[in-house]
């Protein structure tokens, strides 16, 4: 995973975060999306888990996400 320094994080668009207002859970690439999924699975509430999984699926539809039910 590419290192995300504070300066690089500040330059990211708001759309690169699951929670843009708090700039939490960056998902600008697949590696960071996987890290966000891992972090929320350990420390997130059920609502946060749903939101992060949905955001990752929306941005990377081909990525397999454990615990996410794909809706048709």
For the chain, give every domain's residue range.
29-72
Q: Single out the residue of 17, 14, 28, 22 nearest to residue 52, CA to CA.
A: 17
Report the chain's mean pLDDT, rounded to a whole number: 90
23: alpha, beta or left? (left if phi > 0; alpha if psi -120 to 50): left
How confident is residue 2, by pLDDT bands cut at 50, 70 and 90? confident
Average pLDDT rounded to a whole number, residues 22-38 = 94
Q: In angstroms, what CA-CA distances link 54 with 1, 67, 69?
A: 21, 11, 9
What local confidence, expressed as pLDDT, does residue 1 receive?
Answer: 73
Main-chain phi, psi angles of 48, to 5 degrees: -65, -40
């Amino acid at each position: 995973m590419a290192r995300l320094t504070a300066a690089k994080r500040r330059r990211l668009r708001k759309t690169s975060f699951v929670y843009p207002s708090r700039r939490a859970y960056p998902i600008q690439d697949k590696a960071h999306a996987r890290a966000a999924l891992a972090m929320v699975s350990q420390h997130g509430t059920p609502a946060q888990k749903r939101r992060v999984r949905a955001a990752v699926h929306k941005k990377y539809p081909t990525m397999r996400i454990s615990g996410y039910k794909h809706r048709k």
